[in-house]
Structure formats: structure tokens, C-alpha cells
A and B are shown apart, each in its own frame.
Chain A
Amino acid sequence: MGMTLGEKIIARAAGVPEVKPGDIHTVDLDYMMSNDGTTHLTIDMFHNQVKTPRIADPKKLVFIIDHNIPAENPKTAAAHKKMREFAKEHDIDFYEGKGVCHQIMYENYVKAGQLIMGADSHTCSYGALGAFGTGIGCTDFLYAMVTGKSWVLVPETLRFELTGEFKEGVYPRDLILTIIRDIGANGANYKIMEFAGEGEHRLSVNDRFVLCNLAVEAGAKTGICEPDEKVVEFTKAHGRDAGDLFTSDPDAKFLKVYHYDLSKIEPVVARPDFVDTAVPAGEIGEVKIDEAFLGSCNNGRIDELRVAADILKGRTVHPDVRFLIAPASNAVYLQAMREGLIDIFMESGAMVMNANCSVCWGSCQGVIGAGEVLISTGTRNFKGRAGHKDSKVYLGSAATVTASAIAGKIITADRL
């Protein structure tokens, strides 16, 4: 019986020849990542609840401060200090203010075929490079840190067969918001979303990241793109080998196969307060905005910054709008500086922030007030996600967000 790409990764990590959906396996993890959203609690539990506190292999741990950086109050500063000191004491790779955790992992660690758990729901992004990444809570993280292992209930796989190419002005973010609308916020609950087909292979690893990153918004355990030569090129350029490029067997069993022709996808906007509410951007009506945000692990890489700069060049941000831009990492930020993009952003009136989760996290930078409206390239638009419970968040592509920042209302770039 053939296996899917995701099943093969679990089988490798479990050290068994074959797995099937519904099996529970103990797995060896390749990496465990934790950020400042929960690590202070993990450390307290490590000291206070574990009978024999120990770390199985510090080389497999990565701690990243990216959510509330720089710290905005003394309690956050204390949580960060706890994390910083623990990482130092235990010789754990530690990043602070260098970028969003998933971007750091993508640039520096992830290889195809790996099984990685992270104490953050968007750990599913690592499927961009053919890895199985999945989000866990801090108790699971603590168990994994102590033992080097975790357990996995093997999920069923949904396959998304992609064909064709995007039209101009349409982006992978429009595709994934469309898919989530079609299948619903729990349409892939406890499933693997596998992206494959000639349309997938034509996408860059950046674009694959955009797709896999939002898999959790349909409830998926992970999203994985079928890896190929582009993964090999990316990992080589970042100084590491590509890992094991697994693909699904021809007789692998998929729960369902969906077909998407990329040429049929249109720019969409997801409406408050759920990610699965996308409508064609042209049908959104007159929606005035107070703030726009370009950034996050979903859409803050150089590709999206270039899209924004192309639109912004020679134009100015609407006087009633704050436009915040946060590159996903310092590597992205430096590249944007070399290309002159930061000049374009600042000359247009945008605010360029340090590399961090920023507005997408909703508690450190660019928080919006009661009744305010935000359009964002962030991951979520839940009630109060960016600040006050009576504020509204719309999600769109980098192009739509940038065009809206200029127009002062939600609009696609071709209508500027």
C-alpha cells in the first residue's frame, strides 16, 4: 500500500517501514522551536513540574523572541529575560529581534523530510521545503524538550492538485484564502493538506510558504508542498543540504483530491472575523480603512515587499491611514535596503518596523482601537486579533493591502 508524502515523513521519524491514518506512533523530532508566546511557561514547568529536569538534545532546540519584541512592558521584559537566560544556560540556539520564528527556521534550519514541532500554530509553514511542521502547546513542547520525542496520530491527507499559472495581479495568498473559503475553517481539521501538480512545481518556495503557512486556518495538522529542485536550490543557497525529498506514491490513499486551476483565481479579501470568509476583492463595497499592515510569516518576505514597492513608487500613503511594514526577518530587511525598497516605503509615508510579528500578533505594534478597520497580510482576522474587540480586520494580498493604503479604502491595485 502506497504512502502519502506526509505519511512517509512520519514513518521515517517513527523508524518504521509504513504508517497509515489512525495509527499512533512515537516519533523522534528533528527540531523543536519555541517563541516568546509561551516559553516562559514552559521554563516554569520544566523547573517546577518535571521530576527529573533534563534536555534530550539542545542542538535540536531553537528559541526565538519575535512576538513582543522589543518588549513593551516590564512583565514582557521579565518573560524575555527568563527565556534568554535559560537558552544561555542550556546552550540552546537563541534569536532575539532577528525576525519571525518561522522565517528564521526557514532561512536557517528546515530540510525536506524532517518532522518539526513548534510551539506556534503556523509551524505548518515548513512544508514549503517539503518538511512536516506542526504546531503544539507548551506541555507537548516540554515533553519533547525533555525526551526528544513526541507522539503523532497519523492524519489523513487531502491533496490539492494545482494546474496553470496565476494571472497578473493574483498571488498565492489569493489562492489559499480561496481554498480556505471553499473547504471552511475546519475543512481540513486534523488532516494533511498536500499541494502538488505542475502548478505547484511552478511556484517558488516563497509562494509555497504562503500556502502551507495558512493550512492551520483550515484546521490542518500541516501543509506540505511536494519538494523538487527548487527546494534543493534554496537550501543550497542557505548553506545546507536539502534533506529527503519524499513524494506521494502513485497508489497513495488520499481522503479527497481537489483541483485548482491557478489561472481562474481572482484577488480576494477575507472579511471579519473569520479567515474562511473570502469574497472577490471587487465585491467588497466601500470599506474605509484606518490602518494597513504588510508583513508576518505569511507575507513579509522580499517577494511581497517588492510587490508593495512597485505599487508604492511615486505614490503616497493616504493621509487618514497608518501603513506599517515589518519585514519577516533581518535578512529580508537588509535585502530590501540593498534594493532600495525601504527608501520607497519611507518616502511614501509608510512606517517601517523592526522584523517581528508586529500587527499580526495584535499586542505589541500597531494595535487598533474601537471601531477601527485594518487591512492586513497577517495570518488571522479573528475578533480583536489586532487590538480592540470592536475593531475589524480584513485580509488581502500584499498588492491589495498596499493599494488600499494608498486609496484609504479597500481596493485592488489595478483600480488605483
Chain B
Amino acid sequence: MSKVFKFKNDVDTDQIIASQYLLLPNIEEMKGHTFESLDDRFAANVQPGDVIVAGDNFGCGSSREQAPSVLKALGVKAVIARSFARIFFRNAINIGLPVLVSGELDANVEAGDEATVDLTEGTVEVNGKTYSCTKLPPYMQNILNQGGLIASLNQED
């Protein structure tokens, strides 16, 4: 089971990880500051396997790949949003962080709900209902299945 952490519309990448931490040497040093401006207990409270549920335009703003990277490093299993900003969406797939699009989920879950996320089927079961998420184009699904873009590059080599 995955515990749900909930965020609103237009969560920008400055909120996921602020500028002042981006030049730290590595993601491990950055991850403790994830969502600091919105929920300064997030990094301490999130457990591996938990999920983020959000509204529209999640990950807008800066192209900083540190944003999906800190979420992955904290063990976030997937981000499920009504829609994503394009650079965040692409970065997440490139690093192997599952991103699922569901038009209904965020209106039907609360923070702290327990969800069962099936990444192979692209479904989320929560509060007795199952929600189907939009499937990725095959090209992008293939990158995600291989574990990200660099894993995919290494297989080409």
C-alpha cells in the first residue's frame, strides 16, 4: 500500500527543490529539502513506496532535473496528476520515475489515504474504487521500462 501525499495545481519545480540547493554535490544531499516551502516535514514523513497525487500542471517552471530526482531518491513510487508540465514529465520518464495522468483521482482522494498502484496496468485503487490512468506513447513507455534514458542508451551500445 502507498500513502497519498497531496498537492494542488501548478506546483512548480522551485517548490519541489529550491534553487539554493541545486548546486549541492549530489541528489542525496538535496533530497532532505524536497517540498520544503510547502511542507517542511515532507522529506521526513514520506516512506519508500508512497505516492504523490496532484492537480493540473505539476512540475511547471524550471527544467531542473533535480525535481524528479529528489522524489525518486526519497522512494516516491509514482506521481499521479491531472496534467504535467512537459519538461518535468519528460525528465521523470528519463530518470525512471513513473508519472501517471488521471483526470479524476485528485478530486477523490485525501492526503493520508492508502492507495494500491499497479504500474504495469496503470491503475490506482483507493477508497474502494479503481482509476485507470492514461497510457504513455509506446516510445516513452519503452524508455521507462528499460529503467530510463541512460539505461536505454547503454543497451543500444
Show the binding face of A for B, using Cβ within 8 Å. Answer: 24, 36-38, 40-41, 44-45, 49-52, 67-68, 75-76, 78-79, 119-121, 123, 135-140, 142-143, 146-147, 151, 153, 185-186, 189-190, 216-217, 219, 221, 274, 361-363, 380, 382-385, 389
Residues of A within 8 A of B25 (CB): 40, 75, 78-79
What is the total number of residues of chain B having a CB less than 8 Å from a CB of chain A?
Answer: 42
Give the distance to chain A from B88, nearest Cβ to Cβ, in Å.
8
Contact with A219, one of B23, B86, B149 (Cβ below 8 angstroms): B86
Contact with B86, one of A50, A217, A221 (Cβ below 8 angstroms): A221
Query: 9 pairs across A/B with beta carbons < 8 Å?
Result: A75-B25, A76-B23, A142-B149, A146-B153, A185-B57, A189-B83, A362-B18, A362-B19, A385-B14
A274 B23 Cβ-Cβ under 8 A: no
B60 A185 Cβ-Cβ under 8 A: yes
Per-residue 0/1 for B1-26: is the Cβ within 8 Å of any A Cβ (1 yes, 0 no)?
Answer: 00000000010101100111011111
Contact with B60, one of A41, A79, A219, A362 (Cβ below 8 angstroms): A219
A120 B63 Cβ-Cβ under 8 A: yes
What CA separation (Å) do A79 and B38 show in the bound complex?
A: 27
B90 A137 Cβ-Cβ under 8 A: yes
User: By CB atoms of chain A within 10 A, which of B64, B87, B137 has the most?
Assistant: B87
What CA separation (Å) do A36 and B83 show in the bound complex?
A: 29
Give the distance to chain A from B21, nearest Cβ to Cβ, in Å.
8
Q: Tell me whether B65 is interfacial, beta carbon within 8 Å.
A: yes
Given contacts A51-B154, A189-B85, A221-B86, contact A153 B137 (CB under 8 A): yes
Given contacts A146-B153, A189-B85, contact A140 B57 (CB under 8 A): no
Q: Tell me whether B150 is interfacial, beta carbon within 8 Å.
A: yes
Contact with A139, one of B22, B38, B148 (Cβ below 8 angstroms): B148
Q: Tell me whether B56 is interfacial, beta carbon within 8 Å.
A: yes
B63 A121 Cβ-Cβ under 8 A: yes
What CA separation (Å) do A78 and B25 show in the bound complex?
A: 8
Known contacts A37-B23, A137-B65, A383-B15; 4 further A-B pairs (Cβ under 8 A): A37-B64, A38-B63, A76-B23, A189-B57
List B residues 42-62 near A (Cβ within 8 Å).
56-57, 60-62
Closest chain B residue, CB of each to CB of A48 = B150
B19 A137 Cβ-Cβ under 8 A: no
What CA separation (Å) do A75 and B22 show in the bound complex?
A: 10
Q: Tell me whether B73 is interfacial, beta carbon within 8 Å.
A: no
Residues of A within 8 A of B150 (CB): 45, 49-50, 139, 142-143
A363 B37 Cβ-Cβ under 8 A: no
Residues of B within 8 A of A135 (CB): 63, 87
Residues of B within 8 A of A153 (CB): 137, 139
B15 A50 Cβ-Cβ under 8 A: no
What CA separation (Å) do A41 and B25 show in the bound complex?
A: 8
What CA separation (Å) do A361 and B61 show in the bound complex?
A: 12
What CA separation (Å) do A136 and B52 show in the bound complex?
A: 23
B57 A219 Cβ-Cβ under 8 A: yes
